[in-house]
Amino acid sequence: MLRKFLLLSLTILLFCPAGKIIYAQQTYDHQWPGFRGPWGRGYLEGSIMPEKWSIDSSLNIKWKTAIPGLAHSCPVIWNDYLVVTSAVNLKTEESLKVGLYGDIDEADDMQEHEFRVYCLDKNTGKIIWERVAHKGIPKSRRHTKSSQANCTPATDGHYLVALFGSEGLYCYDFQGNLLWSKDLGILNPGPYTDPGIEWGYASSPVIFNGTVIIQCDIPAGPFITAIDLATGNEKWRTSRGDEVSTWCTPAICSLNDKISVIANGYRHICGYDFRTGKEIWTMSGGGDAPAPTPVIANGYIYLNSAHGKFSPIFVINPDATGDITLAPDSIRSKFILWSVKRGGAYMQTPLVYGGYLYNLQTNGTLTCFDALNGEIKFKENLKEAFSSSGIAADGKLYFSSEEGNIYVIKAGPEFKLIAKNPMKDVCMATPAIAGNSIFFRTQHFVIAIEQTK
């Protein structure tokens, strides 16, 4: 039975350097309710995090649970419940090709699948319940490095939503009862330079104030929509115009009484009114196949992307209105605090933590910027392929390579590698944090790591 959850803090006020209140947000104590945790920020306060562990000797391994199928979705946590999704091929073993390569190939997995939701006990790893949300041959294809279950679930502690792209959106309670489902149509993003190629849908749902926000940048008719969390009814839907396919999860930004939805993109990087879906500001100039999520920190909006001829990082004032696209020879403007033309990440969302922005590229190049002026503090190459985004807690940064090596790095302006911990399994998903534990979703397992007392 679901414990009565406690909303321990209703509002947290964050300040800009000058002391002006920039935005107010609800926050939850030690929950990890969606992609990259509370507000998508990628860190948790007040945790005591492990530095070293061993799969072989079970050092600091709290539990390890096998999950069938293939999925890049990340764990979400509320109180004692941990939820993951998976797509299980009922005919053959799933194929996955990781590493640094540029092929646009689609995987051959047009066999019957079960699209599943798993609820685990956070403390023991025991599977409490599992549900088959949908069964059938996938309605769209995926890249050889992708999966049919890329989207991270989201919860507000009462409702739990799981998105499986073309297979639909499903809402459960924590007893596993299906409350409603919704067909969003065929969601089949792929490279706009190669029409007809499908790489798999990956944008995760975001919950705020009883509303689910979903960004659907697809080749035909891209849109962003708001759905009532209790009923599944659509509140509004806004066209994304001539936007190309993206794999970006949206973010919520609140400025006093103005709440906006931030959507990364290529032709349309936008801020929308949360209540109506009306566009507030727009800009272009990102990478042409963006995947990173916007990050709200220090009273600003941090955006990055890298593909094609553009690989920028933008830091945007949430007061922005109208078209704020930078001139070709500019790196800042009235609404852009600072930017870099090249250096953004293709897949990874930036980590803004303790006054610094950590930007990890697919090839393992990690750059630390001063978050308020863009000054580079260090640049190091971890010499592996990375797809998942970094997270942080307890003054430590955690970066997971595709081969499953977890780099633990001391937070701050100087590079210091604390440890490199092999998970002995492919790791494409961004980890989660709750209490003093860190939870890794590998290709075959969910693994809880906690410092032995």
Task: Classify residue 4: in a domain, yes or no.
Answer: no
* Confidence category of residue 25, pLDDT binned at 50, 70, 90: very low
Task: Classify residue 225: in a domain, yes or no.
Answer: yes
Q: Using CA atoms, how far apart are residues 364 and 414, in angstroms rounded to an integer?
A: 17
pLDDT at 16: 34
Task: Classify residue 298: in a domain, yes or no.
Answer: yes
pLDDT at 256: 65
What's the pLDDT tens digit per position in 356-370? 999 999 999 999 999
Antiparallel, parallel or unpaired: β 76-78 and 81-89: antiparallel
Q: For residue 403, with 0-12 CB atoms within 10 Å meaning exposed, 13-18 middle and 19 or more buried, which class applies?
A: middle
Can you give the CATH number for the domain in which 172 is found?
A: 2.130.10.10
Given a contact cutoff of 8 angstroms between Cβ atoms, the answer to whether 214 and 205 are in contact is yes
Task: Classify residue 3: in a domain, yes or no.
Answer: no
What's the pLDDT tens digit per position in 269-312? 999 999 999 999 999 999 999 999 999 999 999 999 999 999 99
Is residue 4 over pLDDT 60?
A: no
Q: Using CA atoms, how far apart are residues 246 and 239, in angstroms rounded to an integer?
A: 14
Q: pLDDT > 70: what percent of the chain?
A: 93
Work out how many domains the chain is built from and give that number.
1
* Confidence category of residue 6, pLDDT binned at 50, 70, 90: very low
Task: Classify residue 2: in a domain, yes or no.
Answer: no
Is residue 22 over pLDDT 90?
A: no
List phi, psi (to 5°) of 326.
Answer: -70, 145
Task: Provide mean pLDDT across the span 204-222.
Answer: 97
Is residue 2 over pLDDT 70?
A: no
What's the pLDDT tens digit per position in 169-186? 999 999 999 999 999 999
Q: Which domain holds residue 185?
A: 9-450
Task: Classify residue 135: in a domain, yes or no.
Answer: yes
Task: Classify residue 1: in a domain, yes or no.
Answer: no
Is residue 20 over pLDDT 80?
A: no
* Confidence category of residue 427, pLDDT binned at 50, 70, 90: very high
* Confidence category of residue 18, pLDDT binned at 50, 70, 90: very low
Given a contact cutoff of 8 angstroms between Cβ atoms, the answer to whether 418 and 51 are in contact is yes
DSSP string, 133-185: EEEES-SS--BTT--S-----EE-SS-EEEE-GGG-EEEE-TT--EEEEE---
Average pLDDT of every residue of the chain: 93
Q: Using CA atoms, how far apart are residues 440 and 53, in angstroms rounded to an integer?
A: 12
SS3 121: strand
Q: Using CA atoms, how far apart are residues 137 and 166, in angstroms rounded to an integer?
A: 11
pLDDT at 30: 78
pLDDT at 452: 86
Q: What is the pTM of this model?
A: 0.93
Given a contact cutoff of 8 angstroms between Cβ atoms, the answer to whether 244 and 308 are in contact is no
Task: Provide mean pLDDT across the span 392-412.
Answer: 98
DSSP state for residue 386 in the 8-state scheme:
B
What's the pLDDT tens digit per position in 131-140? 999 999 999 9
